[in-house]
Amino acid sequence: MQAARKTLETSAWEILEQIPDPEIPVLSIVDLGIVRSVEVDGTKVTVGVAPTYSGCPATEFIEDSVVKSLQSGGITQVSIRRVLSPPWTSDWISDRGRQKLRKYGIAPPEKGAVARGRLLGDPMATERIVACPRCGSENTEKVSEFGSTACKASYKCIECLEPFEYFKCI
Amino acid sequence: MSKDQALIAYVTRMGDNAIVMAQRLSEWVGHGPELEEEMAMSNFALDYVGQARMFFSYAGELDGKRRSEDDICFLRDGWDYGNVLLVEQPNGDFGETIARLVLFETFYSLQLEALATSPATKLAEIAARAIKESTYHLRHASNWLIRLGDGTDESHRRVQNAIDRLWTYTAELFEADPVDQIMQSEWQGPDLTVLREHWHRQIDELLAKATLQKPEDGWMDSGGKGGHHSEHLGYILAEMQSMQRTYPGANW
């Protein structure tokens, strides 16, 4: 019984690791750090999912794809639990996720910025060094704090002249 | 009023503030002074929609009448809405929208911070989530206030006028009615007297940086928390609720 439960949990995680984030498909939802838990009760699996931003339009889509993917992987009884606490921050993105982001051309968020209380400190402290994900230069400029999705800002590299996106710290 | 009724009323009001702000900010889509600001305003609007949904869902869970977030949002009239008058004021020019954001978000951040330790666990969780967004909204709006206030004569004049005009709606934020009082005594809600002091300190600092004058407290308008609104709310609700009113129960 113990072994069977373990297997179900492991295979659920394996499936979840394959589910791409709909807005940044290079990241899986596990890399993004929004899958908080997988609980197994007999044949029933409950997945704890934390939304990124309150208004992230992908939240329902993600929950739906979790249910569908697990079901097509043979896990029929699936339910979703929305987890608010502790709230998701960009610090939840895994190291592997950060590497994937950089490779994809999105500068990953500065690690630990949130944990260090950056957001609760001086609200004016906005400037930070963001390295270009293409050439690595730190000679970059913020174009806009807002970008194609709620979680990204727009930057450009002064060295290689490429525009790029930066996954914001929140 | 029981402590549970007060909690439901309070959570619903927070949702009302959020959804009305969302409606106002999304009016900038297609009209922003520049593309980046249009994205900023619509991003903020989206955060507010998300927060409103969490507040309304929670209120629905609490009152046990099987009301969904949509029922609470779309099927109540103006007199049932308990948002403060400040948030329903028209956008005006971009400077006025920024001024309103600064005045409201300074309050809202402090309110959320206080609620993050409430024994109403779900409310505390929503507050802890929302505060992260509120903080970056405030950062962005504050930077703009400084830029406009300490900018050209024209931008200074317009944003000063906006602050003066909106000032009359700021006292309501700190008026404790029975709902606020029960929240404070039973659910560790914010002490609005203390919160007011913090708000003034932060606003003083920011206005000084923006080279703006703090208006005198003159006649102050209020009533929104109790459902007495300016004429503006009706138009917002008429637009927001038209689908649900025309096709009751419609899903999309």
The complex's ipTM works out to 0.83
**Cβ-defined contact of B50 to A124 (cutoff 8 Å):** no
- Using the predicted structure, report yes or no on whether residue B174 has a pLDDT greater than 90: yes
Structure tokens at B78: 């103006």
Structure tokens at B67: 């009301």
A interface mutation test: which of B118, B139, B147, B206 has the most A CBs within 10 A?
A: B139
What chain A holds in terms of domains, given with CATH numbers, is 2-82 (3.30.300.130), 93-167 (no CATH)
Contacts of A56 in chain B (CB under 8 A): 46, 50
Cα atoms in the 13 Å half-sphere on the side-chain side of B159: 30
What confidence tens digit (pLDDT) does each residue in B23-54 have?
Answer: 999 999 999 999 899 999 999 999 999 999 99
Q: State the pLDDT at residue A129.
A: 80
Q: Does B133 touch chain A (CB under 8 A)?
A: yes
- For tokens 């600064």, what's the residue? B102
Q: Are residues A20 and A27 in contact, defined by beta-carbon separation less than 8 angstroms?
A: yes
Q: Does B73 touch chain A (CB under 8 A)?
A: no
What confidence tens digit (pLDDT) does each residue in B52-111 have?
Answer: 999 999 999 999 999 999 999 999 999 999 999 999 999 999 999 999 999 999 999 999
- Using the predicted structure, report yes or no on whether residue A37 has a pLDDT greater than 60: yes
**Cβ-defined contact of A143 to B36 (cutoff 8 Å):** yes
Residue A56: band (very low, low, confident or very high) from pLDDT cuts 50, 70, 90: confident
Domain ranges of chain B: 3-246
Residue A111: band (very low, low, confident or very high) from pLDDT cuts 50, 70, 90: confident
DSSP letter at A108 equals: P
Nearest to B57 by CA among A64, A51, A90: A51
Q: Is cis: bond before A87, omega within 30 of 0?
A: no
What confidence tens digit (pLDDT) does each residue in B209-236 have?
Answer: 999 999 999 999 999 999 999 999 999 9
Q: Which helix (H) or strand (E) holds B142?
A: helix B121-149
- Using the predicted structure, report yes or no on whether residue A30 has a pLDDT greater than 70: yes
Q: pLDDT: is B251 or B45 the higher one?
A: B45
Residue A55: band (very low, low, confident or very high) from pLDDT cuts 50, 70, 90: confident
Q: Which residues is A41 bridged to in the sheet?
A: A44
Residue B176: band (very low, low, confident or very high) from pLDDT cuts 50, 70, 90: very high
Contacts of A86 in chain B (CB under 8 A): 128
Q: Does B41 touch chain A (CB under 8 A)?
A: no
3-class secondary-structure state, position B75: coil
CB pairs under 8 A between A and B: 76
A interface mutation test: which of B49, B132, B136, B202 has the most A CBs within 10 A?
A: B132
Residue of B nearest to A154 (CA): B36
Instruction: Please count the other Cβ atoms lying within 10 Å of the Cβ belonging to residue A170.
Output: 21
Mean pLDDT of A102-131: 68
What confidence tens digit (pLDDT) does each residue in B91-105 have?
Answer: 999 999 999 999 999
**Cβ-defined contact of B40 to A53 (cutoff 8 Å):** no
Q: State the pLDDT at residue A5.
A: 60
Residue A120: band (very low, low, confident or very high) from pLDDT cuts 50, 70, 90: very low
**Cβ-defined contact of A170 to B46 (cutoff 8 Å):** no
Supply the mean pLDDT for chain A. Answer: 87
Structure tokens at B96: 């006025």
What confidence tens digit (pLDDT) does each residue in A14-24 have?
Answer: 999 999 999 88
- For tokens 């525009």, what's the residue? A163
What's the rounded Cα separation, in Å, for the pair A81 and B9? 26
Distances from the Cα of B145 to the Cα of A107, A110, A123, B11, angstroms: 29, 27, 13, 30
Report the top-level CATH class of B3-246.
mainly alpha
Mean pLDDT of A104-121: 67
What is the gyration radius of the CA atoms in chain A, in angstroms? 18
Q: State the pLDDT at residue A150.
A: 81
Query: pLDDT exceeding 90 applies to what percent of chain B?
Result: 95
Residue of A nearest to B55 (CA): A54
pTM: 0.92
Tell me how close the Cα of A145 comes to any Cα of chain B, in angstroms. Answer: 8
What confidence tens digit (pLDDT) does each residue in B150-167 have?
Answer: 999 999 999 999 999 999
Tell me how close the Cα of A28 comes to any Cα of chain B, in angstroms. Answer: 22
Q: Is cis: bond before A86, omega within 30 of 0?
A: yes
Q: State the pLDDT at residue A149.
A: 83
**Cβ-defined contact of B39 to A144 (cutoff 8 Å):** yes
Contacts of A118 in chain B (CB under 8 A): none
Q: State the pLDDT at residue A6.
A: 65
Instruction: Give me the DSSP letters along A6-39.
Output: HHHHHHHHHHHTTPBPSSSTTSBTTTTT-EEEEE
DSSP letter at A58 equals: T
Mean pLDDT of B141-152: 97
Q: Are residues B80 and B63 in contact, defined by beta-carbon separation less than 8 angstroms?
A: no
Mean pLDDT of B176-200: 98
Instruction: Give me the DSSP letters along B25-90.
Output: HHTTTTT-SSHHHHHHHHHHHHHHHHHHHHHHHHHHHHH-S---HHHHHHS--GGG----HHHHS-
Mean pLDDT of A38-51: 93
Residue of B nearest to A144 (CA): B36
Instruction: Give me the DSSP letters along B170-232.
Output: SGGGG---HHHHHHHHHH----HHHHHHHHHHHHHHHHHHTT-PPPP--S----GGGT---TH
Which residues contact residue A86 at a Cβ distance below 8 angstroms, ignoring those fewer than 6 apart? Answer: B128
Q: State the pLDDT at residue B10.
A: 98
Mean pLDDT of B233-241: 97
For residue B125, give the nearest of A85, A123, A145 by CB distance: A85
- Using the predicted structure, report yes or no on whether residue A125 has a pLDDT greater than 80: no
